Copies of this chain bind each other. A is one copy, B any other.
């Protein structure tokens, strides 16, 4: 079993409640890596017998640190139509009734229509032409990705926060909605592109828009995706991030946005 599948594995307890366990391999500074937590919340919906269609949107708000150990996720469809399904999910631990993370999501049945892609991926060097660079060697989760930055260097002088990078699971794993969600949080925090020293940070809210159906996503297989990310503004303790995740054949797999708390 791939470590990512272990990290997002959920045991059904009935009534839309599932139980999971944090993963040491995807550990961040003071809790599990947020991308895996987002994937866990999505997985509670993906694996529900009530599921209709494929993920279209996901918003995850991170309210408090998740401790190492077991957690439960309560996921329920709020409303379903013939082609869409609206979800809410909350992650709790132990006897604390207040959620540590909460999510809303829209699932949809996609169909053939008039299509047009306006965005264009950057024309950059291949994955083989750059090396994995892990600025925080003691941090565990980045080692679970093969991550090659082609533009932008963390904790160095950069003219802006725009980065291009290749990323795929390490060891390789066929891309699906859960792993794509996790990759959407894997861009290094934008503030580390504009400051020369570490400052405390934490993602407050993560948003993912999925732009492909399941068969198209499956075509990506084990190939790395091309990730583009930039910040608009760092102000009064919060900065934003906007990202694109591109797959083979110049296909936009997802766009993603987040707001991150920072200190100082």
The residues of A with any CB-CB pair to B shorter than 8 Å are: 56-57, 59, 61, 63-64, 78-79, 81, 84, 86, 88, 90, 98-100, 102-104, 106, 108, 110-119, 160-161, 194-195, 204-205, 207, 209, 211-213, 230-238, 240, 242, 244, 252, 255, 257, 259, 261-264
Q: Are A57 and B205 in contact (CB under 8 A)?
A: yes
- Copies of this chain per assembly: 2
For the complex, would chain A's binding face be called helix, strand, loop or mixed by DSSP majority? strand
Q: Are B61 and A106 in contact (CB under 8 A)?
A: yes
19 A-B residue pairs with CB within 8 Å: A56-B205, A78-B90, A78-B98, A102-B104, A103-B104, A108-B237, A111-B236, A113-B234, A114-B195, A115-B236, A116-B194, A116-B235, A117-B235, A118-B161, A209-B257, A209-B259, A211-B240, A240-B255, A242-B242
Q: Are A64 and B81 in contact (CB under 8 A)?
A: yes
Q: A57-B259, A242-B242 are in contact. List 15 more A-B contacts (CB 8 A).
A: A56-B204, A57-B205, A59-B59, A64-B79, A106-B205, A108-B237, A113-B263, A114-B195, A115-B236, A116-B235, A117-B235, A118-B233, A211-B238, A211-B240, A242-B255
